[in-house]
Amino acid sequence: MPTTVPSADPFSAAPPQLRAALARQGFTSLTAVQRAVLDAESAGRDLRISSQTGSGKTVALGLLLAPSLVTEGAARTAARRPAGPAALLIAPTRELAVQVGAELRWLYADLSGVAVAVVTGGTDPVRERSTLERGPAFVVGTPGRLLDHIRRGALDVSGVAHVVLDEADQMLDMGFREDLDAIVDHLPAERRAHLVSATFPPAVRALAGRFQPNALHVEGTRLGAANEDIAHVAHLVRPTDRYATLVNLLLRSLGQRTLVFVRRRVDATEVAERLTEDGFSAAAFSGELSQVQRTRTLHAFRNGTLQALISTDVAARGIDIPGISSVVHLDLPTDGATYTHRSGRTGRAGQKGLSVLLVPTTEHRRVEQLFARAPFELSWQPPPTAAEVRKAHTKRTRRRLHGLLDASADPQREESGGDVVEATTPGSGDPPLDKHREYAKRLLEERDATEVVAALLALSEPPLPRDPIAIEAVRASGPRERDRRPPRHRGDDGRRRSHQKPRGAPRKGKRFDKKTHASRSQRP
DNA sequence: AAAAAAG
């Protein structure tokens, strides 16, 4: 959230035509990365923008490009050149492209003649084609479809003045390499190229040189700075208890949105199906789904119809869904960067968030290595027990009761809560307690007050979708029984002298690297 | 090593 700065015009650094849009969107000041991008030094340079997720990088970019979009657009209209876009933004997933496009649209709402088009796979190419024919100044898209339009002549990128790679570290990764090169081959040589990413590990920086021989590095929030709103918790569980732990976690946070990450598409589908059978409101999200399904599912998660979304890493980056109270890593992330991106889906816009790692005992050591240099504290805790889950449920019911009582005492007061999934709060209409008041008086005359309240509490506690599951706690550093090797020799005190060989050497480039993330000792 | 991205 932008912090308020007492100033005549908090947006004085922004292009004048965009200030009204910023105010309409509820901005009260520019974020660090936005101010940094608008700094005079940035003029005319290729930028390498690194900043924490959710820090307003897209808007920063929009602010940067707006003036030249207006100028280029006008120049090309005057010259009667074919109306290809002046700016191109390439994103690694379809949903991200859509989201970025939407953000640029509200930002450019007052810029007449500057339209934003989004082109992605999974949608009707003919409709996109006709959108492109209208000559949008800014085109946002995913690599495959962009290239498709370019090759078919539907998209003329010869007039592109700015090309932007969003989530640049991933875009420069192997999988996107070919398409990206092919697109860039069509761009004019004199274009400016901007890379946007949370992190720029050495491997990415090496590749980045091909796009930006002489880039200016712009840092919004300090590289690797931790989001203080996110708590990081690890539960050590037996591999067979992972699903049970997930069930307990979901029961504990019933009524709140949880994003669950798994490794493979098939896992997403299977876990979602199993959760649904267990009475949860859950769905899978992965590249296995049709685009229609993907959009529909994400919408259902956004509007609160779904409590849990079980996703592959397709949703790990950039996706902004308000109100995700926790992220669960059912499968461990492959590396530090993936962990950071996944976790960044919670704790957004100043809200508190929880990131929970389910660590199979077999992976204990690897996880400790992975997080040894993380810029935050990973808190190892026993998984939630069945008793804790039930207690949380009772507490939740009592909180709703207090909400009702407070609302009844003071109707002006906003209902507290934050429960987004279940219809836990009565709809606005008649004051909810009115029709019960007469009977309540009679009941209290006839019965013992404590008994009446206790009975009502019992009645008001909704049934859980399913019973919480007993999970056996695992000792934090104990090797599994079958991993234990016979002691080689014992000392006089009978204790083992030799320890087993560390399993698995640290993997190169997989950890929270000093180059990509600040280490803990560098924390302010 | 998997996922994503073009049908």
Query: From the C1' of B1, which residue's alpha carbon is nearest?
Result: A334
Assess whether A511 (CB) lies less than 7 A from strand B: no
> How much is the pLDDT for A207?
87
Distance CA A407, CA A492 (A): 70
C-alpha distances out from residue A415 to A277, A422, A486, Å: 32, 15, 61
Distance CA A145, CA A417 (A): 43
The answer as to whether A57 is a domain residue is yes
Counting every residue written for chain A, the total comes to: 524
Do A470 and A352 share a domain, yes or no?
A: yes
**A331/B2 CA-to-C1' distance in Å:** 12
Do A212 and A312 share a domain, yes or no?
A: no
| Domain CATH code at residue A522 | 3.40.50.300
Beta-carbon contacts of residue A319 (< 8 Å; ≥ 6 apart): A93, A95, A96, A99, A298, A345
Please count the structural domains in chain A: 2
Cβ–Cβ under 8 Å, residues A315 and A98 = no
Strand partners, A326: A258, A354
pTM, two decimals, is 0.86
Amino acid type, A211: F
Containing structural domain, residue A93: 16-219
Do A136 and A262 share a domain, yes or no?
A: no
Residue at which a domain ends, from A201, A219, A237:
A219
Do A215 and A292 share a domain, yes or no?
A: no
Cβ–Cβ under 8 Å, residues A312 and A286 = yes
Which nucleotide is nearest, taking the CA of residue A178 and each C1'?
B5
**A175/B5 CA-to-C1' distance in Å:** 8
> Which residues 51-110 of A interface with strand B at a CB distance below 7 A?
92-95
> How much is the pLDDT for A427?
46
Distance CA A121, CA A123 (A): 6
The answer as to whether A262 is a domain residue is yes
Cβ–Cβ under 8 Å, residues A201 and A515 = yes
Do A331 and A259 share a domain, yes or no?
A: yes
Assess whether A145 (CB) lies less than 7 A from strand B: yes
Assess whether A179 (CB) lies less than 7 A from strand B: yes
Assess whether A297 (CB) lies less than 7 A from strand B: no
The answer as to whether A485 is a domain residue is no
DSSP A492-504: TT--B-SPPPPSS
Do A211 and A153 share a domain, yes or no?
A: yes
Do A261 and A403 share a domain, yes or no?
A: yes
Do A234 and A145 share a domain, yes or no?
A: no
Query: In 3-state terms, what secondary structure has residue A383?
Result: coil
Do A192 and A319 share a domain, yes or no?
A: no
Which nucleotide is nearest, taking the CA of residue A146 and each C1'?
B6
Query: From the C1' of B5, which residue's alpha carbon is nearest?
Result: A144
**A142/B4 CA-to-C1' distance in Å:** 10
Assess whether A122 (CB) lies less than 7 A from strand B: yes
Assess whether A175 (CB) lies less than 7 A from strand B: yes
Burial A13-51 (b: 16+ CB within 10 A, else e): ebbebbbebbeeeebebbbbbbbbbbeeebeeebbbbbb
Q: What is the pLDDT along chain A (524 residues), one digit of tens a residue?
A: 455 555 578 888 899 899 999 999 999 999 888 999 998 777 789 999 988 776 788 999 999 999 989 887 777 777 766 579 999 999 999 999 999 999 999 999 999 889 999 999 999 999 999 999 999 999 999 999 999 999 999 999 999 999 999 999 999 888 898 999 999 999 999 999 999 998 888 888 888 988 898 899 998 776 566 788 999 999 999 999 999 999 999 999 999 999 999 999 999 999 999 999 999 999 999 999 999 999 999 999 999 999 999 999 999 998 999 999 999 999 999 999 899 999 999 988 788 999 999 999 999 999 999 999 898 999 999 999 999 999 999 999 999 888 888 888 876 655 444 444 444 444 445 567 788 889 889 999 999 999 998 888 888 889 999 999 999 888 765 444 444 444 434 333 434 333 333 444 444 445 675 444 433 333 32
Distance CA A146, CA A510 (A): 31
Q: Which of chain B's bases lie under 7 Å from a protein CB?
A: 1-7
Query: In 3-state terms, what secondary structure has residue A183?
Result: helix
> How much is the pLDDT for A511?
63
C-alpha distances out from residue A30 to A5, A14, A36, A41, A142, Å: 9, 8, 10, 17, 28
The answer as to whether A31 is a domain residue is yes
The answer as to whether A143 is a domain residue is yes
Which nucleotide is nearest, taking the CA of residue A264 and each C1'?
B2
The answer as to whether A486 is a domain residue is no
The answer as to whether A93 is a domain residue is yes
Amino acid type, A485: R
Do A242 and A169 share a domain, yes or no?
A: no
Residue with tokens 């690890």: A234
**A507/B1 CA-to-C1' distance in Å:** 13
Do A215 and A260 share a domain, yes or no?
A: no
Helix A174-186 to helix A143-151 angle, to the nearest 10 degrees? 30
Assess whether A468 (CB) lies less than 7 A from strand B: no
Do A258 and A280 share a domain, yes or no?
A: yes
> How much is the pLDDT for A55?
73
Distance CA A375, CA A523 (A): 7
Beta-carbon contacts of residue A437 (< 8 Å; ≥ 6 apart): none
The answer as to whether A434 is a domain residue is no
Residue at which a domain ends, from A164, A186, A219:
A219
Residue at which a domain ends, from A195, A219, A243:
A219
> How much is the pLDDT for A457?
87
> How much is the pLDDT for A112?
86
**A21/B7 CA-to-C1' distance in Å:** 38
